[in-house]
Amino acid sequence: MITLRPFLLHLKKIAGFVFSAILVFNFFASVNAQNTILKPGFDKAEYIELIRMHARLYDTTKNTIPYPVHFKSVYNSPIVGMDNRWDLWKNTKSAVAVINLRGTTTNPVSWLQNFYAAMVPAQGELKLSNNFTFKYHLAENPRAAVHVGWLIGIAYLARDIIPKIDSCYKSGIKEFIIMGHSQGGALSYLMTSHLYSLQKQNILPKDIRFKTYSSAAPKAGNVYYAYEYESLVDGGWGVNIINGADWVPQTPFSVQNLSDFNETNPFRNIDGVLKKQKFFTRIALRHAYKQLKKPSEKAQRNYQKYLGNYVSKMVKKTLPEFQPPVYAKTADYVRIGPTITLLGDDAYYKLFPDSKTDVFAHHLLGPYLYLIDQYKH
């Protein structure tokens, strides 16, 4: 006589094993979630703390911005590259560290870094000195391109930052905020891409979590770089904060050519389209097309000539062994990342009026702190 009892007992054991496995999985998932301190998405209080620590990066005796409440400074870097500097801060109550990147200073070399605005491919290498070649891979798309001046900045900064990340990791810190304001905001984009790239190469541990706040940041790359950066920080792990009255996030100048479009576009076969038109219509449209196409192409060439070749000669006075790279044939700078836009009201403009003499009336930390305090979202 056939009985099902042994089979049912075996099935019960399997069910018990599966149930136990689920409990163990949920336990470790819960522990892992509890160990994750940083949360995705914009955090107003977090940003205010970052602005407060960023204020300490500048050599000024007139700093009236309060000191951070929950963080302490543990490292101040030397000046590197083209007047670049960064600070390391640690949360006093949790295992979170902040990589705080300085923006433009009054030093002309710092401004020269901004004006060295030709683009280079987002993957390759820079020969900065006879014993320092910076290899980087900030995006996969070969059409992605970034600002060469700020790429020099992260090359020097990363050389100092990576060992500090390693030492933090060994002490139990696996979560980092990357923050920069102004030029530092532009650097924060490229630094974030570089650190993620090092994770892919197993140079940095893959269980490190990065979250990026780019504040008052100018545009650091073209649309193909922007697409990949936004994919990296998708899910709330990167945010761009701008004051709508601030001109810096509108820079550098952008020149878009037909070659900047995706491969599939209606302009590739423009001659075929024009041939289908009547004779005089075809002549008129071809003339109009050339008038639109040629100025942007000329503007891009001038961009490379003056903000690439010409400025690189001045850069070599600061970095004598620097070898200017081959520039990308694009200047299609775009705004990057999920954006929080702070719009001033009448009360704001009474405190921070437009000015014909003070071009930084809306760009410094004070206006940003005022606007974020009013931010309700």
Nearest of 194, 121, 123, 122 to residue 156 by alpha carbon:
194
Q: Is residue 267 part of a domain?
A: no
Q: Is residue 95 part of a domain?
A: yes
Q: What is the pLDDT of residue 271?
A: 59
Q: Is residue 272 part of a domain?
A: no
Residue 209 belongs to domain with CATH number = 3.40.50.1820
Q: What is the pLDDT of residue 304?
A: 94
101 pairs with which residues across the strands?
A: 86, 180
State how many domains the chain has. Answer: 1
Cβ-contact 332, 255 below 8 angstroms: yes
Q: Is residue 336 part of a domain?
A: yes
Q: What is the pLDDT of residue 254?
A: 95
Q: What is the pLDDT of residue 377?
A: 76
Burial grade of 297 (CB within 10 A; 0-12, 13-18, 19 or more): middle
Q: Peptide bond before 252: cis, by omega within 30 degrees of 0?
A: yes
Q: Which residue range is the domain that position 50 belongs to?
A: 40-261+294-374
Question: Helix crossing, 148-170 with 183-200: angle to 10°?
Answer: 60
Q: Is residue 12 part of a domain?
A: no
Q: Is residue 143 part of a domain?
A: yes
Q: What is the pLDDT of residue 288?
A: 62
Residues lower than pLDDT 50 in the chain: 1-2, 7-8, 11, 18-34
Cα gap 189→178, rounded to integer Å:
9
Q: What is the pLDDT of residue 35?
A: 56
Q: Is residue 271 part of a domain?
A: no
Q: Is residue 35 part of a domain?
A: no
